[in-house]
A and B are shown apart, each in its own frame.
Chain A
Amino acid sequence: MIKRLFERLTSNIDGPLFAIVCGLLAIGFATLYSAAYQAPGRVSAQALNVLLALALMWIAAQIPPQTFMRWAIPAFLAVLLMLVGVALFGDVRNGARRWLPLGFGSVQPSELMKLAMPLMLARYFHRHEQTLRLREYAFAVLLLAVPTAMIARQPDLGTALLVAAAGFYVIFLAGLSWKIIAGGSAAVLASLPILWGVLHDYQRRRFLTLIDPSSDPLGAGYHIIQSTIAVGSGGITGKGWLEGTQTHLEFIPERATDFIFAVYSEEFGLLGNSLLLILYLAFIMRGLMIAANGPTFFTRLLAGSITLTFFTYTVVNMGMVSGLLPVVGVPLPLISYGGTSLVTLFISMGMLMSINHHRTLVQS
């Protein structure tokens, strides 16, 4: 009886994916414990976040993909409306207008767009699967560009980047011709100078300091310099858990959130980093497998996009902390402290699991 109930509850949960997630969460808690040593409340707060997110993942995993498809357009429009709301009367925090005050609290619509965007585009391409012409792709790009630009203007470069990536992966996987991809890439490269003019001063500084962090060692370069020192000083085996000097003497800024990888890397070294890379790679490979076996065009596109967006998180964050990429506000998935991105991540993982569970049900 109990066994049946357990089976009933877990039937939609993908075992391998869940195991990988648990491994990553364990690493995350260990690292957070070290990073947030003078704010121990964060560990229990994060535990609550994870519990909530796991519940949402479970719920998402129960919902059949057709339902997601049905919700795609209303969800997209609602989030788009909220973005307009943010632009008009959003709260300004830390110099950026990202939060929309609602009666019961405030939300970040940009975060929701990470889900709404791939849903919408996958739904769109699914609908026009038989008649995909340039016109369809152009419209998809428009659907992608408007919200992305709105988020970038808040400004929230990190989220804009992830939303753009999520949408782009859908378009790419939908079969946008290589010629256009090549042409588009060329066009983007050509328009970089224009993009440069649109960027905020602090964003430009981040790019400049990436090229030469020592040009501004106390300002924008400080993050990169200190996190690179943390990673490098970790060596092969790391300094040991709770023994990271860069961490515990507060040289790493944002060490519980965006820069938590520096903490991990300092204390666990190259061996720890390799383990983390392997876990992430396993997650991504499992996700791509689910996408390849998706029952419908919509599910394939959605699963592919979710997986590759996850990949984008990891590469952008680790690249930034190790000084390869500019500083962009992208958390390290399942490791960084913070509830907002955790929730969207787990919901998207629930979607992946739902797609995996329903791969045969629909086809038959």
Chain B
Amino acid sequence: MRLAEIRNTQRDLHYFQLRLGVAGVVVLCAFTVLFARFFYLQVIQHKYYDTKAEDNRISILPIPPNRGLILDRNGVVLARNYSAYTLELTLSKIADLEGTIDALAAIVDIQPRDRRRFQRLREESKGRDTLAIRTRLTDEEVAKLAVNRYRFPGVDIKGRLFRQYPLGEVASHVVGYLGRIDDRDLERIDDTDESPNYKGTDHIGKTGLEQSYEHELHGTTGFEQVETDAGGRIVPGRSVRTLAPRTAPAPGNNLALTLDIRLQEAAERAFGENRGALVAIEPSTGGILAFVSQPGYDPNFFIDGIDPVNWDALNNSPDKPLNNRALNGLYPPGSTFKPFMALAALELGKRTPSQTIFDPGYFMFGNNRFRDDKAGGHGYVDMYKSIVESCDTYYYMLANDLGIDAMARFIGQFGFGARTGIDIEGEAAGVLPSPEWKMKRFKKPEQQRWYPGETISIGIGQGYNSYTPLQLAQAVAAIANDGVIYRPHFVNYVENPKTGERSYTEPQAMKTIALKDRNLEVIKRAMVGVNKEGTGARAFAGAGYTSAGKTGTAQVIALKQNEKYSDATVAEHFRDHALFIAFAPVESPKIALAVIVENAGFGARAAAPVARKVLDYYLLGKRIDKPAEPAPALKGEDGDD
């Protein structure tokens, strides 16, 4: 029994040790599996996981480039950058936003305007967590905030670059302005694969050259690697592992314009309180010398996001200051159309310069009487007199003789009714009336039909005619330049600020209109006559240079037959627009321009003096210090304008 027990125990011990052995094998197997797993992760898949870990750790921090400057032809700065401190709130870290702003207002100056602007920013930029409540902090404010910063989690002072337009309203429509990038801009950026370059950029050109030359001005964003922790926060100080060196940003290119900002300023001042537009071109290159749309606005308002009160004031003003009249305002050319019509008559052989017609003060077409503005008519009228005195009847007849198709074909060569291709966005095309245009424009058959009577009023620049001041100026420049049209442009050259390398806008002759010199001579001589002895004579009396011009008056409302127009009886916004086109000096034109003064009545009275001042300034260097006063009403002045 005892022996059996011992043997039993012995057997049990062996049996137990067998079990232990099994367990030991299981342990070895398990550890082998673990080792295999480590080997798989750390050797075979090491690259993959290493990349993952680096992606976890490294964030790419964009370094936005300095935006290029915009300078006028003499190097005057129109748009520049300055760095300033902003007070920024990170919404997700602030529990009581109103309370925080109130508390901050006790330390720095926060106006109701700032609060409104901040509110607007919040609405417009959903998804952005950090927004500025104040910009351009003074040194004193920065110091005060720095001391109190511990009290305000989620409130930061950041140094940022801001755009500034030192001349304010001057040339505001040309330069344009920057604004915060919105959803539409983002789409455009994505479409052009520019997204990486806009990381870190808050603002983008919204209008004018700032918009059109965005790709030149913006520059190339630099990048810097930083380590971020699992919460996405940048870890300050020494990095856990090494980082790639930083890529420096390349600043944007500077724009040097053909625009002469002093001329521009003079031209704007010449408008006084009037609304209107002026475009002055250098005929031999197409370079824009002045580009006025009045009233203007201060583009500086837009940079930080305009506050709603100012926005409403600009946007809802009946004067429409945001509208770029020179670029997309459409006006009938009125009598400034006549030199082009006369040239058509000569070129197409419908008139000779000396051929006269008799003007009884009206032109009968069927049963319709087309009225000349001069009571009793101009009597016997040749081509010279038709332009100098601006005789309507001459052109009613001429239009009838030419026919609408030939007219549209010839006039169209000067660029009327087509975009000029100027280097700024938002240009309007205008309307060069023709039967084809009417077919396209209207849907109903009775509207599509061309009535012969319509041809007649088109002959004096009325009817469906509607062109931009830019087109009109380009057409004048074409006459001044003997038929050669250069593409109008603002930018003379683009300069790389680092290398100083310049790329010039080569004057590009878009087309040369085949015109006979002697025909051009007739027209130029007549236009000189306008300023010497005709409708522009009063405005150009005593000018120290030779000039060619033509007055015009564009009807805003259609007059009924035999109805006489009178300033006094018509509400201001329905009064006629005053126009004037000119170029000078006649022998070798340096400047060609078109002026429109809205609702100002006769071109001779309101538009020609503006043109005179601009030409004086440009050609003689005369300063214009006082706003132009409207000339006294001229009684019994020759001409219809």
Contact = CB atoms under 8 A, between A and B. Distances in A.
Nearest to A316: B30
B545 interface: no
Contact of B42 (A248, A273, A319): A273
A308 interface: yes
B42 A235 contact: yes
Interface string A282-303: 0011001001100001001000
A233 B235 contact: no
Contact of B56 (A129, A251, A273, A308): A251
Interface stretch (B14-22, B115-123, B304-312, B371-379): B14-22
Contact of B240 (A231, A234, A243, A274): A243
A304 B13 CA distance: 13
A245 B34 contact: no
Given A233-B50, A288-B23, A175 B15 contact: yes
Given A270-B39, A322-B34, A250 B231 contact: yes
Contacts of B15: 175
Contacts of A319: 34, 37
A249 B49 contact: no
A232 B49 contact: yes
Given A246-B56, A274-B35, A251 B230 contact: yes
Interface string A229-258: 111111110010001111011110000000
Interface string A161-181: 000000001001101000000
Nearest to A238: B42
Nearest to A318: B34
B48 A322 contact: no
Interface residues of B, number: 41
B33 interface: yes
Contact of B41 (A231, A245, A277): A231
Nearest to B32: A277
A254 to B, nearest CB: 13
Query: Which bracket fits the contact residues of A?
Result: 35 or more
B19 A172 contact: yes
Contact of A233 (B19, B33, B38, B46): B46
Contacts of A173: 16, 19-20, 23
Contact of B46 (A130, A226, A232, A288): A232
Interface string B196-228: 000000000000000000000000000000011
Contacts of A284: 24, 27
A226 to B, nearest CB: 8
B231 A285 contact: no
Interface string B53-90: 11011000000000000000000000000000000000
A26 interface: no
Nearest to B24: A288
A315 B24 contact: no
A233 B49 contact: yes
A54 interface: no
B46 A249 contact: no
Contacts of A273: 35, 38, 42
A154 interface: no
B194 interface: no
Nearest to B16: A300
* Most chain B CB atoms below 10 A, which of A130, A229, A265, A324: A229
Given A249-B227, A304-B23, A322 B37 contact: yes
Nearest to A273: B38
A315 B30 contact: yes
A207 interface: no
B637 interface: no
B20 A232 contact: no
A229 B52 contact: yes
B558 interface: no
B39 A232 contact: no
A269 interface: yes
Contacts of A234: 42
A175 to B, nearest CB: 6
B612 to A, nearest CB: 72
A242 B516 CA distance: 88
B45 interface: yes
B57 A129 contact: no
* Most chain A CB atoms below 10 A, which of B37, B41, B235: B41
Contact of B20 (A229, A249, A269, A291): A291
Contact of A249 (B13, B30, B31, B235): B235
A319 B41 CA distance: 12
A294 to B, nearest CB: 9
Contacts of A12: none
A162 B33 CA distance: 20
Contacts of A244: 240
Contacts of B41: 228, 231-232, 322-323
B53 A245 contact: yes
B514 interface: no
A115 B35 CA distance: 29
B147 interface: no
B12 interface: yes
B43 interface: yes
A260 B379 CA distance: 108
Given A228-B41, A245-B56, A235 B46 contact: yes
A51 B43 CA distance: 38
Interface of A: 129-130, 169, 172-173, 175, 226, 228-236, 239, 243-246, 248-251, 265, 269-270, 273-274, 277, 280-281, 284-285, 288, 291-292, 297, 300, 304, 308, 311, 315, 318-319, 322-324
Top-6 shortest CB links A-B: A232-B49, A233-B53, A232-B41, A249-B229, A270-B42, A250-B230
Interface of B: 8, 12-13, 15-17, 19-20, 23-24, 27-28, 30-31, 33-35, 37-39, 41-43, 45-46, 48-50, 52-54, 56-57, 227-231, 235, 240-241
16 contacts: A228-B49, A232-B41, A232-B50, A232-B53, A233-B49, A235-B50, A239-B241, A245-B241, A249-B230, A249-B235, A270-B38, A270-B43, A280-B31, A281-B27, A281-B31, A319-B34
Given A175-B15, A249-B56, A322-B38, 11 more contacts: A130-B8, A231-B38, A232-B46, A232-B53, A233-B54, A235-B46, A239-B241, A245-B54, A245-B56, A291-B20, A322-B34
